[in-house]
Amino acid sequence: MNKKIIMALIFTALTASACSGSDNSISILDTVDSAFKNKLPIPPLLEPVEEKNISRYTLEVQQGTYEFIKGEKVYTYGYNGPLLGPTIKVKRGEKVSIEVRNSLREYTTVHWHGMLVPGDMDGGPHQVISPGKKWTASFTVNQPAATAWYHPHGLGTTARQVYMGLAGLFIVEDENSEKLNIPKEYGVNDIPLIVQDKRLTTEGVPLYLTGMRDIMTGMLGNTILVNGVITPHFTVTGNKYRLRILNGSNARVYNFSFNDNNFFYVIATDGGFLEKPVKRNNIILSPGERIEIIADFSKYSDGENVKLVSGNIDIMEFRVNGKEKETAIIPERLTTIERYDPSASKRSRLFQLEGMGHMVAINGKRMNINRIDEYMNYQDTETWTITSSTAMHGRGMMGGGMMRMMGPDVLHNFHAHGVHFLILSRNGIPPEDHEKGWKDTVLLNENEEVKVITRFLYRGIFMYHCHILEHEDNGMMGQFKVK
């Protein structure tokens, strides 16, 4: 125990001394347990109990012990297990009822990020589950096939609880996704990748908020985990694989590519399929965002390895072994997106993301659970302009100096509950092809302006916030009510 406390102090010092540079890539653990030693685990599918047309799922939020490093047990949180959670897979039209039981010694909530459900089923800060208590979310799935996810959303406790291990995938299928001739066998050629970073000591202890920098930028780790395992490997055949990537990190923004720059096809964004696959060799993903890509390993021969990386950070390794005959293709068309007509917009609103660290706000305000910030009308179409700046408007003191010190690591993104939106423009220019699909979270670079169009299909109270979780917990969140 003493040793662990000493470690914590050493790491605090390391973090503090790293404060002046912009090092998104500290990699203290390289020598300890990386080298793609571990096999990628696949989160199990959660089996429902079918009862009178309703699929009943059960999640238990629990504390457990987990070994990030073999032989080193540490306390973690998970759903139905010590870390992360099972994948919930539903089909459009399905009536689901998810019972969540809180076995933690602190309160939590479970939010279905990317699922379109009424406000009282959303699992935001209003649907608190006290220790020992249960909460049931019931809704009918009515949205196109997509990769969504679930995670806690308590006021001021989200970041720490996610960091402790609470996150799981929520996959929606529909007739279209089942009909498309793409890889779709879960865990076989349709592979979920929950990418997160943690600051682990050499004994595998996840440290949290050990320096001022962690508050400013949000918590950045020194170790990459995929599905809870440090830089793992996954064995593939020389065929096509669909990778469903979730950035489940508290604050880190990734720029994913293969180390040999091999291209891949982006087929879906947060809210579902793009109209056509988009050929790329990199993709930027900020916290909360998802992307589905198809990677084709056919150009590699047996025994070759290719790495998924983010700049100079290793994420995981694919090891090519054998080849199977396959039917999966890269379809020319994936779906039809019914775009809202901007002229149907009833109202435009502005969301200004600003500040950093403790001094963060949206439109100059910090989250107040007793205040509704925006009122919307059910079924209305609206256009939103989102801007981002790390300076605080009208507060000269938080200016350039601090920003230069933190460098490009301080970013904001914007996530809204209860809606999906389409990006109309980024800095006045139409979005790139891979940003033309449904989104619920969008990254903004410093001083960028993004315009989106959305429609309110569900009633209730919903959150909008920066998905850098430390920013969210520091109040970079607001509420809207759809009447």
Binds ligand C2O (CB under 6 A): choice among 92, 111, 213, 451: 111
Considering only CA atoms, which of 174, 203, 167, 182 is closest in space to residue 77?
Answer: 167
Site string for ligand C2O, 134-163 (x = CB under 6 A): -----------------x-x----------
Q: What DSSP element (H or E) covers 203?
A: none
The least CB distance from residue 419 to Cu ion, in Å, is 10
Task: State the binding partner of 468 from Cu ion, ligand C2O, none, CB within 5 to 8 A by kind.
Answer: Cu ion
Verify binding: residue 213, ligand C2O, rule CB under 6 A. no
11 versus 79: smaller Cβ distance to ligand C2O:
79
Cross-strand bridge partners of residue 333: none
Task: State the binding partner of 465 from Cu ion, ligand C2O, none, CB within 5 to 8 A by kind.
Answer: ligand C2O
Site string for ligand C2O, 287-316 (x = CB under 6 A): -x----------------------------
Q: How many angstroms separate the CA atoms of 439 and 454, rounded?
A: 10
Q: How many angstroms separate the CA atoms of 453 and 2, rounded?
A: 54
Considering only CA atoms, which of 440, 471, 28 is closest in space to residue 251?
Answer: 471
61 versus 353: smaller Cβ distance to Cu ion:
353
Q: How many angstroms separate the CA atoms of 462 and 480, rounded?
A: 5
Q: What angle do CA 351, 356, 362 make, to 5 degrees?
A: 20
Burial class from Cβ neighbours inside 10 Å (0-12, 13-18, 19+) for residue 290 reads buried
Please identify, among the stretches 323-331, 399-407, 423-431, 462-470, the one whose residues bind ligand C2O according to the rule CB under 6 A: 462-470
Indicate the pairing of strand 190-200 with strand 283-285.
unpaired
φ and ψ of 335, to 5 deg:
-165, 175
Site string for ligand C2O, 390-429 (x = CB under 6 A): -------------------------x-x------------
Verify binding: residue 463, ligand C2O, rule CB under 6 A. yes
The least CB distance from residue 113 to Cu ion, in Å, is 4
Considering only CA atoms, which of 200, 160, 203 is closest in space to residue 2?
Answer: 203
Verify binding: residue 412, Cu ion, rule CB under 5 A. yes
Binds Cu ion (CB under 5 A): choice among 417, 420, 439, 465: 417
Task: State the binding partner of 436 from Cu ion, ligand C2O, none, CB within 5 to 8 A by kind.
Answer: none
The least CB distance from residue 232 to ligand C2O, in Å, is 24
Please identify, among the stretches 16-24, 70-78, 168-176, 461-469, the one whose residues bind ligand C2O according to the rule CB under 6 A: 461-469
Residue-by-residue DSSP string for 175-190: HHHHHS-S---BTTTE
The least CB distance from residue 144 to ligand C2O, in Å, is 19
The least CB distance from residue 415 to Cu ion, in Å, is 5
Terminal-residue alpha carbon distance, the chain? 53
- Report how far Cα 51 is from the mean position of its chain's Cα atoms: 31
Site size toward ligand C2O, by CB under 6 A: 10
CA distances from 182 to 124, 149, 187, 306 (A): 34, 21, 14, 21
Task: State the binding partner of 242 from Cu ion, ligand C2O, none, CB within 5 to 8 A by kind.
Answer: none
Q: What angle do CA 63, 64, 69 make, to 5 degrees?
A: 135
Residues at the site binding Cu ion, with contacts judged by CB under 5 A: 113, 412, 417, 466, 468, 471
Q: Can you give the binding site for ligand C2O, defined by CB under 6 A?
A: 111, 113, 151, 153, 288, 415, 417, 463, 465, 467
